[in-house]
Structure 1
Amino acid sequence: MFENLRGRALRASVAVSAGSAYLLFGYDQGVLGGLVSQPSFLGAIGNPSPTYLGTIVALYDIGCLVGCIIAAAWGNHFGRCRSIFWASIIMVIGATIQTTTYGAVQLIIGRLISGVGNGINTSTVPMYVSEISRTESRGRSLAVQMSLVIFGTVIAYWLDYGMVRNLSGEVVWRFPIAFQIFFALITISTILFLPESPRWLFAHDRREESTRAVSRLLGCDESDERVQKITCDMEEALMLERRQPKLDFRSLLKSKSQIKPARRLVLCFLIQFFQQWTGINVIAFYVTIVLESNVGLSKETSSLVAGIVQICFWCGTLPVIFLLDRLGRRIMLLSGSVALFLSMTLFTFGIAIDTTASAKLALAMLFCYEFSFGMSWNAIPWLYAPEITPLNLRHIGSALCALSEWLWTFVIAQMAPTAIANTGWKIWLLFDIMLLISFFFVFFFLPETSGKTLEEIDYIYVKPEVRYQLDEVSTSADHELSKSRSRVLVEDNSSAQT
């Protein structure tokens, strides 16, 4: 069915398959949050203490960490499509174990297994989407996928809400947990019929298949100038990367390679670090607690408002689809840090004063915060990591980015309930400070990647004289256009060397 698809139809099929994996990502994150207070659910797992229950929920993140490590170690061997396929199979197994749960240990095992699959997927899917997208729409493609993540969270929240309010018994929690299998099955049934990443194929010396995949994705003949240009770019970037000393985990941090791989991997880790320390997951996981404890709403009102907050968050992910490739990554992140800092500061001010009027201010700022995060820090870190890393380390960079996400998600999920209960409004000052630091991190350390092919981004980090040496040893006439463009890129981005 998919073999004859070309051009826009093929790219749409890829978007559906990858998008289903992203819906599963968001849905799986949110589905258990609305069920942990249900008597039938708690009874099935032995009525654990709040601390034990929190650990059960958070262990999902540990599974995701393991999945990221697996993706970093073996993802490049299996390829993008096969990694996504097996990750989705793993998630089906984990979801089945959770759905049939009759004890805390069984639920923990299911959560850990699902986490492993999701860790592999979150390490691989952004990389796959980035590598097969056209340069001019790469940001839009990833922004659409990350919008689906939040939409998956919205589906999970409102499905839980509807089941809890209208039904009773074990179906209230077993059906929402089982429903995640639906998204995984869509990806499983489609991903192996879609083209493998042309860049992965090219790096593994399967160049004819790579050229064929590029021509299918662009919807043109293999002899087309656009296909030849992309092939030349991949050849040149691969040549540059292979001229550098061979790297392994032991020597990576000591590497003096001209393309600065260690620096780029550190950026992959740090950009997700700053994303998590904006405070988004404290609000996402514990929004009802925040609304009750900090804003002063009733439990029923808090549940309803929390659902509206999730919808506001998703609405914030829509404008970035149209703005990211036009405005660039840096300006979206910088403006996002400013908007989030102002929103968080006024939110903190509102709950600290603790009056009726200030509570309304805090609630309004919560909506502004969610919308601003959706427009900026939600999608860009997931896009930036596969963009900023060289081809031979892209699987590691993407996995490191996802690992950072799940590591700090686990830390924040563990500390947040206690922090909210014991410090009140003061905990939000920590996120204010981190948002301020994030602005300077982006300003001084993150170069712009918008409008550049993945191969051209290598030259941001290469000194001009080294780039010229590479040009001199390349005698192919097909590279002349690429050389001219690369020299311009080096000159334009020479400030990124510091």
Structure 2
Amino acid sequence: MLGAKHSLGLVYGGRLIGGLGVGGVSLSTPLYIAEIAPPSIRGQLVGFYEIFLQAGGVVGFWINFGISEHIPYGSKQWHIPVAIQLIPGGLLLAASVFLRETPRWLYRQKRLNEAIVNLSWMRNLPADHPYVQDEIQGIRAQFERETQGGNNEGLTAKLKELGKPGIRNRLGIGMCIMMNECYQRLSIIYFNLCISNKGLFQYYSPTIFSSIGITGTSNSLFATGIYGVVKMVATLIALVWLVDRIGRRKPLIVGALVGALSMYYIAGFIAVAKPSGTGSPTPAGKFAAACIYIFAIAFCMSWNGISWIICSEIFPLSVRALGQTITSATQWLWQFVVARSTPYMIKNIGYGTYLFFGTCMILMIPWAYFILPESKPTSAKRIDGTDSTVAKGVSLEDMDRIFGYCPHGHNMAIEDGVIKNEIEEREVADVHRP
């Protein structure tokens, strides 16, 4: 793209190649983190994917804002932002050379010794440590259950596996949560960068801020930038300190409720006040602007990162990559749909846009309460015969019990998404040695 000059075809080609790369990274990154993370802090570690995604968006926005304000109109206005993208991409490429393959993937490839060595290295424990052995036993038990019915390799076999009871419900949950996440992510603001004839960077978000009385390109762009900072901070707080303490379902329910109320207020304000963007902002208009930030906080502390966590942890080993692929593709599909439709909705139905998205969020509440199981870590316990303490968590292998997947006739009873007492929850988690 940097060498395209006046060739639009090269720009399209670069965008296509870049899109393939971003799509692959968005699939593999949370999947890799989920497979190597201890169950007790899996939510936090997968959450860092979304935290840095938000941080990248904030940095990118302010770079573009600074360029639009200080760089004269010309090719440099798009060359510089595109060139800067080489830095994080290059760092990721360099760091990936030193990554080790996940023990679960190695075990599935029948490379048991390598799986043990890598797990021992990742946990910083000797291979014969009870924690490492316990986790390997869990991986082995999962693999043996999945392969008792014969070979399930190949795309056709994996697609059939996705259609089995106990797995197809996970696929449906993953696709639904990604769809719901996109409705919230793009319902109020979408960072879609384009260059106008005047050389200024225009976003959908300034249009929204202008609709509630925040006028002027610089003011609305600045408000958009602060919005991104708020989202990043809220995501950091939620995914580092809350997600593995209060679970997945409660934040989703509360976030949908708060987001819906914010949407309804904005819709009501626009319907009643009919702001024209002229005159002094009213208290009601200021609160409407505040509702945008309230929505950002509620969204980023709930659906923004938890959706990626859930989709990366719910699928069994045999179809984990395929399931993550489908849910990630669903997310990108709905990003496209909502991003394309939102500007037209705002233009043609006005405040009805906010009513629509608010109602979608209300519908998410019973879905999260009745359909989505909980998989947060539980209390801590000491390993017998060692000086190590573990915080109990639901391992990736235990997800079969939560979702009622019974491969080849195994009895895995569940009740209200929680493993029954007769099924002992695997006690693997982060190890803290004195």
Return the TM-score normalized by structure 1: 0.72
Query: Does the 8 Å CA contact 1:282/1:413 hold for their aligned counterparts?
Result: no
- 243, 254, 268: which one pairs with 1:349? 268
CA distance in 2: counterparts of 1:117 and 1:256, whole angstroms: 25
1:259-278 matches, within 5 Å, as 260-278=166-184
CA distance in 2: counterparts of 1:244 and 1:444, whole angstroms: 32
CA distance in 1: counterparts of 2:7 and 2:401, whole angstroms: 54
Query: Does the 8 Å CA contact 1:258/1:461 hold for their aligned counterparts?
Result: no
- 233, 242, 256: which one pairs with 1:323? 242
1:489–1:257 distance in 2 versus 1, CA, 3 Å = farther
CA distance in 2: counterparts of 1:178 and 1:359, whole angstroms: 39
CA distance in 2: counterparts of 1:252 and 1:210, whole angstroms: 23
**2:219: which partner in 1?**
301
- 118, 123, 130: which one pairs with 1:218? 123
1:322–1:467 distance in 2 versus 1, CA, 3 Å = same
**2:80: which partner in 1?**
175
CA distance in 1: counterparts of 2:241 and 2:131, whole angstroms: 24
CA distance in 1: counterparts of 2:412 and 2:38, whole angstroms: 29
**1:195: which partner in 2?**
100
1:46-445 matches, within 5 Å, as 97-98=1-2, 100-168=4-72, 169-244=74-149, 260-278=166-184, 280=186, 282-285=188-191, 286-320=204-238, 321-354=240-273, 356-445=282-371
Query: Does the 8 Å CA contact 2:103/2:114 hold for their aligned counterparts?
Result: yes
CA distance in 1: counterparts of 2:183 and 2:145, whole angstroms: 36
State yes or no: 1:447 paired with 2:373: yes
Structure 1 unaligned residues grouped into runs of 5+: 1-96, 471-482, 491-498
Structure 2 unaligned residues grouped into runs of 5+: 192-203, 276-281, 378-393, 414-418, 427-434
Query: Does the 8 Å CA contact 1:252/1:261 hold for their aligned counterparts?
Result: no
RMSD: 2.6
Tell me, what secondary structure is at the counterpart of 2:284?
helix
1:469–1:297 distance in 2 versus 1, CA, 3 Å = closer
Greater alpha carbon shift after TM alignment, 405-414 vs 254-263: 254-263
Letter matched to residue 18 of structure 2: S
Query: Does the 8 Å CA contact 1:264/1:389 hold for their aligned counterparts?
Result: yes
**1:11: which partner in 2?**
none
Deviation of 1:173 after TM superposition, in Å, equals 1.8
CA distance in 2: counterparts of 1:397 and 1:328, whole angstroms: 22
Greater alpha carbon shift after TM alignment, 105-114 vs 430-439: 105-114
1:447-466 matches, within 5 Å, as 447-451=373-377, 452-462=394-404, 466=409
- Greater helix share, 1 or 2? 1
Report percent identity of matched pairs.
26
CA distance in 1: counterparts of 2:162 and 2:61, whole angstroms: 48
CA distance in 2: counterparts of 1:212 and 1:245, whole angstroms: 28
**1:38: which partner in 2?**
none
Deviation of 1:425 after TM superposition, in Å, equals 1.1
Query: Does the 8 Å CA contact 2:404/2:412 hold for their aligned counterparts?
Result: no
Answer 1 or 2: higher relative contact order, Cα 8 Å, separation at least 6: 2
Letter matched to residue 134 of structure 1: P
Deviation of 1:252 after TM superposition, in Å, equals 6.9
